[in-house]
Amino acid sequence: MKLKLRIWRQKSAADTGKLVDYELHGVSAESSFLEMLDLLNEALINRGQEPVAFDHDCREGICGMCGVMINGVAHGPEKAITACQLHMRHFKDGDTIVIEPWRAAAFPIIKDLVVDRSAFDRIVEAGGYVTVATGSAPDANAIPVPKQKAELSMDAAACIGCGACVAACPNGSAMLFTAAKAGHLNLLPQGQTERYARSVDMVAQMDAEGFGGCTNIGECTAVCPKEISMDFIALLNRDLFVGTLVGATKR
């Protein structure tokens, strides 16, 4: 395959970036999107040029590192996959592909396609954990968990923190991420003690990081590689309402 690539290049957060055009030949239809970028970088290095910086790690759709906008869509045109799982057979010979970083005020660009997503870490630090003393590891059946609650909790825990929800949202909201990280604990017996304080503190941190407000547009779940439902946003809003009424907070 022969492709025309338009890639966002930016040396640092302080610099002005721009889209730069590249032509790439000999791309296998069976290669992954990141392997295609590897091929481009190899060609750039051989020509003595600066390779394109992009995040990657496991390349198996687990770590959430590989987030980029591909032709204006977070993670590309296919549903329920990350960029590393996208294969070039979904494109045609001669296609022009525009590749950009996540666009959100809370995700400042570090270089090229790499953004700083540490704001997500601080949201989790604000309450995405259980602090009750558990002692030694209990037996698996010591605390009964209803099957429906267990399955819902696992659905929320599937969030890999890639940031696609933020990049796709017109408001730059992190509500789906925050709802997933709070929800998988709020649904379990072990998370009940801090349920409302967790919800209040995590949303407060989300706002402090500069993410926008949620207006239920739905772009977040449409691009989520794990297809996390907006139902978790409703659950978080309910717990946030109760927590605000009772003045719950761990801070």
Structure tokens at 69: 């906008």
Q: Please give the Cα distance from 94 to 92 (Å, whole number).
A: 6
Q: Mark out the alpha helices in the chain (DSSP H runs).
A: 33-46, 118-125, 147-157, 164-168, 175-186, 195-208, 219-223, 231-246
Please check whether the two domains, 3-110 and 117-246, share a CATH topology: no
Q: Please give the Cα distance from 141 to 161 (Å, whole number).
A: 30
Closest CA to 127 of 243, 219, 225, 224: 243
CATH of domain 117-246: 1.10.1060.10
Domain boundaries, the chain: 3-110, 117-246
CATH class of 3-110: alpha beta
- Each of the 251 residues of the chain gets a pLDDT tens digit; together they read 999 999 999 999 889 999 999 999 999 999 999 999 999 999 999 999 999 999 999 999 999 999 999 999 999 999 999 999 999 999 999 999 999 999 999 999 999 999 999 999 999 999 999 987 767 777 777 888 999 999 999 999 999 999 999 999 999 999 999 999 999 999 999 899 999 999 999 999 999 999 999 999 999 999 999 999 999 999 999 999 999 998 878 77
